[in-house]
Amino acid sequence: MLASDHHRMKLESNQQGIIFSFNGFISEGILFALGDALKKKMSQDDTDVCTMKRVFSVFVEQAQNIIRYSAETLAKAGMEANRISSGVITVGSEAGRFFVVCGNVMRREEALPLQARLEKIRNLDPAGIKAFYLDRIRNEPDPDSLGASLGLIEIARRASEPIQYDFLDIDELNTFYCMKVFI
Amino acid sequence: MREVPVENMFIPAMERSPEVDFRFLGNRIFLRGEAYPEDAAAFFGPLLKRLSAHCDAIRGQELQVEFRLDYFNTSSAKALMNMIQILENAVRTGTQVTLRWCFQKDDEVMREFGEDFSMELQHVDFQLVEI
């Protein structure tokens, strides 16, 4: 049972073109290690430099979003750089294109503003995304943002089609947020 | 007022942070490698502070800056934009600044970032250099 269960799990992942899928608490150290494996895998497969950089960038921004914004987080005040947070992150390829999927639990009240930002970005064409990026980088980040609030726009900029996202309310307080990006 | 002696600033490249080679004594500034430090504010904060202070101290002189970056995350992009704004302001107070933005052949992402940042510059002598 042990081997057959896990073998089935592995086969299903392989059939979906998954390079790796991580589920659990993620730290900046894990981000670095997964990113390193991803670079090496893409390099061995002779992926072109631009595609590698785009996939890597989407992966880093998504992983940092989990670390910073997942509701399931362990962080001590003043130790934000050592924060670990729970989520899922998957990188794979489908019909010749790479994809990166991330997901994490978040508070329902925080989901609404995020959804509005995602929808705004989804409706922009590449020139609009670029203009939005430049506007955000010139101006100060959102007060509630731990990063530069540029991450989502950077992700959209590296994507080859509009980003897909979804929310699933899991109880009165929490929602599961998920995003899939094709590069 | 006693003059503070000028000291160079050097930080070797690490796995996820660039080489910082700020030769304040020769007015030459280099940043090379990849930038996605765990805490971008902690990494770039002291760099911005030193660069800003140096620009104030060398009004009327020449400053040569070279960025040779392969990748940076959005938190680092914000810090780079701040650096570029410091350089643009330095020109307004009389410093002659040259910024060389170097990118690897075929690296469209880094070339486009160079173009993006150059839009912020009106007075800095900006050069986009394929290497």
Q: Which residues contact B35 (CB under 8 A, 6 or more apart)?
A: B16, B17, B18, B43, B69, B71, B72, B73, B76, B80
Answer yes or no: do A60 and B104 touch at CB < 8 A: no
CB contact under 8 Å between A60 and B36, yes or no, is yes
A148 closest CB neighbour out of B16, B74, B106: B74
Cα angle for residues A91, A93, A96 (degrees, 5° grid): 155
Residue in B closest to A130 by C-alpha = B116
Nearest to B86 by CA among B18, B25, B14, B31: B31
CB contacts under 8 A, A 97-156 vs B, are: 130, 133-134, 137-138, 141, 147-148, 150-151, 153-154
Interface of B with A in 25-84 (CB under 8 A): 36, 38-39, 42, 71, 73-75, 77-78, 81
Residue percentage of chain B with pLDDT more than 70? 96
Q: Are residues A150 and B116, on separate chains, in Cβ contact within 8 Å? A: no
What pLDDT does residue A148 have?
A: 44
Q: What is the mean pLDDT of residues B47-70?
A: 94
User: What are the pLDDT tens digits along chain A (183 aa)?
Assistant: 999 999 999 999 999 999 999 999 999 999 999 999 999 999 999 999 999 999 999 999 999 999 989 999 987 766 666 789 999 999 999 999 999 999 999 999 999 999 999 999 999 999 999 999 998 888 765 555 555 478 999 999 999 999 999 999 999 999 999 999 999
Q: Do A32 and B15 touch (CB under 8 A)?
A: yes
Residue recorded with tokens 């007015």: B27
Which DSSP string do the residues of A32-47 spell out, in sequence order?
HHHHHHHHHHHHHTT-
pLDDT tier, B3 (very low <50, low <70, confident <90, very high otherwise) = low
* A2 min Cα distance to partner chain B (Å): 38
Tell which residue, B29, A7, B103, has the closest CA to residue B21. B29
Residues on chain B touching A81 (C-beta within 8 angstroms): 38-39, 42
- As for the ipTM of the complex, it is 0.90
